[in-house]
Amino acid sequence: MKKLTITFVVLDIIVAICFFVVYSPVFENLQNTIISTATVTKTHGYIAHVFYSDKRIKEVTALNSVPEIDEKIDLNQVVIDTKPRESYDNEYDEAILTRDAGNEDYKYIKVKVGKYDGHLVAIYDPSKVHILTGKKFNTSNSAGKETVLKMTKRLNAVVGINGGGFVDYGYGSDIPIGYVIKDGKVIWSPTSKQTDLIGFTNDNKLLLVHATGEEAVEMGMRDALQFGPFLMINGERPDFKDSAGGFSRAARVAIAQRKDGIVLFLVTEGTHTAGPNMKEVIDTLELYGAYNAANLDGGTSTQLVIKGKLINHPKNIMGQTVTGGRGIVTGWGLILDKDAS
């Protein structure tokens, strides 16, 4: 009887501690992380609703969001001229424009994004940046999804990153979320609504536009995928109202283009709950001259491959390393000879 009493007392104490952590204002940051993680992963969104009201969830979601940039993109300001120069605006400009010996195609730069390790790739010829897609979409057993490693190998991409989202029941799938445009054609279209599209035009400029896939093609889009938010337009960045910096902290992937046409791939280390916020991502891109930029799918999907090697360290929601990377459906890559892909 005494042991049973002790057991119940211990259980009461554990429940009290859990209740205190979940609801006490002292642990507000931790609570926000719980809510953000649950809602971002979507598959486990019910966890947030078990403990918190819809009002609280909406408040945290609003805190972890990127304000819309009230600016229409002006691609006339992007003048593609990526030849080497003899003078630079600053040390970051020099880092981008100074080629590695024997490599005129791209440059890899280790960076810090906030306090997290990051990987920046400058691609000098934007005409060589193309969308990467899985073998097939919407198969019965998700056989069409591929890691970035496998995708770059199959498509002969020297550099590759993951791109848009996909329907996720906890194990991923080969069903893209939103439009996919390849070679000026809509190849996946689950909706007819206008959405945020990230892609490259026929004159090799990064176009960020809210439109249908068909409208984007009419605008001259050659390759695109649906995701977001947009991080910079015409050099303008979001006006964050607080220190949250947009979205919860997580591993991040972003794509950007400078005014001289050089394309930037930015990939950071982290997990679903640890990594840079959006403000820190934008700060880093801005340092290296980004003029237009957009967020891509992060978290476990975060992958950067260079010459057949996975450069970053993808981790799942539990913080465990995902060997070889996660299977995805779209990405962006540097393809030097597209006819060979």
Tens-digit pLDDT profile for residues 128-160: 999 999 999 999 899 999 999 999 999 999 999
Q: Is the pLDDT of residue 178 over 50?
A: yes
18 and 96 both lie in a single domain: no
Claim to verify: residue 12 and residue 156 sit in the same structural domain: no
Euclidean distance between CA atoms 76 and 341, whole angstroms: 31
Contact by Cβ (8 Å): 207, 73: yes
Positions of E strands within 205-320: 206-211, 221-226, 230-232, 253-258, 263-268, 290-296, 304-306, 309-310
220, 209 Cβ separation under 8 angstroms: no
In a domain, 68, yes or no: no
**CA 324/CA 335 separation, integer angstroms:** 21
Whole-Å CA distances, 138 to 166, 189, 225: 10, 12, 16
Number of domains in the chain: 2
Contacting residues for 189 by C-beta, under 8 A, at least 6 apart: 179, 180, 213
In a domain, 176, yes or no: yes
Find, among 341, 71, 74, 66, the residue nearest to 206 by Cα. 74
Task: Report yes or no on 96 lying in a domain.
Answer: yes
157 and 239 within one domain: yes
Q: Which of 18, 36, 63 is the last residue of a domain?
A: 63
Would you place residue 11 in the very low, low, confident or very high pLDDT band (cuts 50, 70, 90)? low
Amino acid letter for position 6: I
* Residue 330 and residue 219 in one domain: yes
Segments forming the whole domain that contains residue 24: 2-63
Instruction: Name the band, by pLDDT with cuts 50, 70 and 90, for residue 325.
Output: very high
Domain boundary among 31, 63, 95: 63
Mean per-residue pLDDT over the chain, rounded: 85
Burial class of residue 83 in the structure, from the number of CB atoms within 10 Å of its CB (0-12 exposed, 13-18 middle, 19+ buried): exposed
pLDDT in the model for residue 21: 45
Shared domain for 84 and 55, answered yes or no, is no
286 and 252 in a single domain? The answer is yes
70 found inside a domain: no
Task: Indicate the residue type of 57.
Answer: I
6 plus 88 within the same structural domain? no
Q: Judge whether 69 lies within some domain.
A: no
Q: What is the pTM of this model?
A: 0.84
Domain assignment of residue 316, yes or no: yes
Among 255, 236, 227, 244, residue whose Cα is nearest residue 280: 244
Tell me the per-residue pLDDT of 73-115, one tens digit each, with 9 for 90 and over: 999 999 999 888 888 999 999 999 999 999 999 999 999 999 9
Q: 103 and 152 share a domain? A: yes
213 in the same domain as 321: yes
Same domain membership, residue 264 and residue 307: yes
One domain for residues 47 and 88? no
Confidence of residue 244 (pLDDT cuts 50, 70, 90): low
Is the same domain home to 168 and 36? no
pLDDT of amino acid 70 = 73
